[in-house]
Structure 1
Amino acid sequence: MNEILSLRDVTYSYTPEEPETRKALDQISFSVNDGEWIAIVGHNGSGKSTMAKLMNGLLFPQGGEVRVLGETLNEENLWDIRSQMGMVFQNPDNQFVGATVQDDVAFALENNGIPFEDMVVRVHESLSQVKMEKFLNSEPHHLSGGQKQRVAIAGALALKPRILILDEATSMLDPQGREEVLSTVHRLREETHLTVLSITHDLEEALLADRILVMNAGRKYAEGTPAEIFSRGEELVALGLDLPFALKMSNLLLTNGVSLKDTHMSEQELVKDIWTSNFNK
């Protein structure tokens, strides 16, 4: 698999003049392959958002390097590389600049000098990809939280990026809005081979990833598949993270003598196991 993004011994401190102050990121190294979905999880202050800013050049490392698409990210290639990356942030209301949905999606295209005819096509295509084409002329503040985030994703997709970064993009949404956004990203990844980095504290969201990177106090605490990471159980709880509902319920049922073949990370697997182990005999 081709490496599309990597951090190599990256260090960053918001107060570099104070050497004793804990670094926001301390000797972080990891890589992302083309088409992967990587979830970066950790409690507040663990370094997740600082990492997102370093990935797209809002900050530059004080030690180590960030490589994107085979190049070391620097001030000379920043805009070329950033054009290959889309970002969706925590609060959708802070991302809107247009009076209508189509104006908002077109904003970044206009800033990048895309010809008007191409811009119109891209706006329609990207809104169709997130199933928001019916809201072309709607005012953004009339949309639900999930719809707003889908429009934000459309704005990122209109630039045809190779990498999509979700920086706590579902943390302010209700369960329905979260499901709308995550199912949209999952489908887009399957259809377009989009590389996704999901920066989150929600381990339910992290279940969708191919690999999970756990951050703690500016350092990489653990890295592995969802099954490998969630097998750590109480270790994650001690770091201030919550376990997926299905895993907690599996453990509770086993503790109380309910027959299960295994612990489960998805509710569907848990329900199926309960049924086959206890009622389908």
Structure 2
Amino acid sequence: MDEILSLKNIAFTYTPDQPEVKNAVEDVSFTVYEGEWIAIVGHNGSGKSTLARIINGLLFPQQGSVSVLGQPMNEENLWDIRSKMGMVFQNPDNQFVGATVQDDVAFALENNGVPHKEMVKRVHEALAQVKMEDFLDNEPQHLSGGQKQRVAIAGALALRPRILILDEATSMLDPQGRAEVLNTVHKLREETGLTVLSITHDLEEAMLADRLLFMNGGRKFAEGTPQQIFDLGDELVKLGLDLPFPIKMVKLLQQQGVTLEGGYMTEEELVNDIWISNFKK
């Protein structure tokens, strides 16, 4: 796979008068390959928000380097590199600037000087990708939380980015809205090969990733598949990260004498094994 994003020995420390001082990062390195879904997880103050700001160029590291598609990020090429990234933020209401859904998706395209005919094409294609093509003329404030985030994703996709960055994009949504957004991103990745980087504390979102990067105290504490990371079990709990429901349930059932192999990342996998191993005749 081709390398699409690389951070090498990143370090950043806020000045003492900045309230985010606890979010500094130190000696963080990792690489993202094209088509991957990487989730950065960690408790509040672990440094993941600072890392997100460094990745999208809102902050420049005081040590180390950031490269996107083999191009080292600097002040001269920052806007060109940002054009290859689509960002979806935490609060969808803060992202809307257009009077209608299609106006909002078109906003960034207009700012980038995309010709009108091409812009109309991209708006319709992007909204179709997130199953919101029937809401072209709706006012964004009348949409549900999940629908708003899907429109925000469409706005990012219309720019045809190489990387989609979700910065706590599901944290303010109800369970239905969260499921809508995650299903949309999951299908988009399968259909288009889009590279996804999610900064999150939501375990359902993290479990969709190919790899997890677990931050603690500004450092990379662990990196691996969701299974490898959550197999750390109580060690993660001590550091402020919860465990997925299936993993916690397996431990409780095993304590009660129920025979289970473990390693389940979804409730469906757990239920199926309980049925096959213990009840099916």
Q: TM-score, normalised by structure 2?
A: 0.96
1:1-47 CA-to-partner distances (Å, cap 9, x unmatched) read 111001111111121799xx766110111000011100100001111
Alpha-carbon distance in structure 2 between the residues aligned to 1:261 and 1:8 = 38
Other structure's SS at 1:169 match: coil
CA distance in 2, matches of 1:94, 1:11: 29
For 1:202, the aligned partner's letter is D
Measure, in 2, the Cα distance between the counterparts of 1:119 and 1:155: 11
**Which residue in 2 is equivalent to 1:163?**
163
State the partner residue of 2:84. Answer: 84
Tell me the distance in 2 between the aligned counterparts of 1:113 and 1:239. Answer: 47
Q: Does the Cα contact within 8 Å between 1:261 and 1:277 map onto a contact in 2?
A: no
Q: In the alignment, is the contact (CA less than 8 A) between 1:109 and 1:159 conserved in 2?
A: yes
Match of 1:47 in 2: 47
> Matched residue of 2:110: which SS?
helix
Taking the TM superposition and a 5 Å limit, the aligned residue runs for 1:10-21 are 10-15=10-15
For 1:233 and 1:261, the matched residues in 2 are separated by: 15
2 CA distance for matches of 1:241 and 1:132? Answer: 34
Contact 1:11 1:23 in 2 (8 A): no
Aligned in 2, Cα 1:268/1:22: closer, same or farther, shift over 3 Å? closer
Corresponding residue number in structure 2 for 1:203: 203
Aligned to 1:66: 66
8 Å Cα contact 1:25-1:51 kept in structure 2: yes
SS at match of 2:170: coil
Distance 1:262 1:29 in 2: 31
- Supply the distance in 2 between the matched residues of 1:147 and 1:254 (Cα, whole angstroms): 40
Give the aligned residue type for 1:120. Answer: V
Partner AA of 1:69 in structure 2: L
Change in Cα spacing, 1:150 to 1:17, as seen in structure 2 (3 Å) is: closer
Provide the C-alpha distance between the structure 1 equivalents of 2:52 and 2:27, rounded to a whole number of angstroms.
15
Question: AA paired with 1:31?
Answer: T
**CA separation in 2, counterparts of 1:119 and 1:93?**
23
Q: Secondary structure at the match of 1:97?
A: coil
Give the partner amino acid of 1:233. G
Structure-2 residue corresponding to 1:140: 140
Deviations 1:153-200 (A, max 9, x none): 000000000000000000111111111001100110111110000110
Q: Which consecutive unaligned segments of at least 5 residues does structure 2 have?
A: none
Counterpart AA for 2:174: D
Asked whether the equivalents of residues 3 and 34 of structure 1 are also in contact (C-alpha less than 8 Å), the reply is yes
The aligned residue for residue 241 of structure 2 is 241
Aligned positions of 1:96-111 closer than 5 A: 96-111=96-111
CA displacement, residues 35-66 of structure 1 (integer Å, 9 cap, x when unaligned): 11001000011111111111111111111111
Alpha-carbon distance in structure 2 between the residues aligned to 1:9 and 1:263? 32
Native 8 Å contact 2:86 2:157 kept in 1 = yes
- Mapped partners of 1:263, 1:210: distance in 2: 15
Checking the alignment, whether the CA contact within 8 Å between 1:25 and 1:47 is kept in structure 2 is yes
Quote the residue 1:181 is aligned against: 181
Look up the SS of the partner of 1:232 in the other structure: coil
SS at match of 2:27: strand
Paired with 2:17 and 2:176, the residues of 1 have a C-alpha distance of: 45
Contact 2:23 2:50 in 1 (8 A): no
**What amino acid is the match of 2:68?**
V
Give yes or no for contact 2:22–2:47 (8 Å, CA) kept in 1: no
Aligned position for 2:36: 36
Shift of 1:204: 2.0
Q: Give yes or no for the alignment of 1:193 onto 2:193.
A: yes
Farther-moved stretch of structure 1 (227-236 vs 261-270): 261-270
Equivalent position SS for 2:165: strand
Contact 2:41 2:201 in 1 (8 A): yes
The alignment partner of 1:32 has SS state of: strand
How far does residue 263 in structure 1 lie from its aligned partner after superposition? 4.2
State the shift of 1:86 in Å: 0.2
Q: What stretches of structure 1 of length at least 5 have no aligned partner?
A: none
Please state if 1:265 is matched with 2:269.
no
8 Å CA contact retained: 1:202, 1:242 = no
Conserved 8 A contact 2:126-2:157: yes
Structure 2 residue 115 is matched with structure 1 residue 151: no
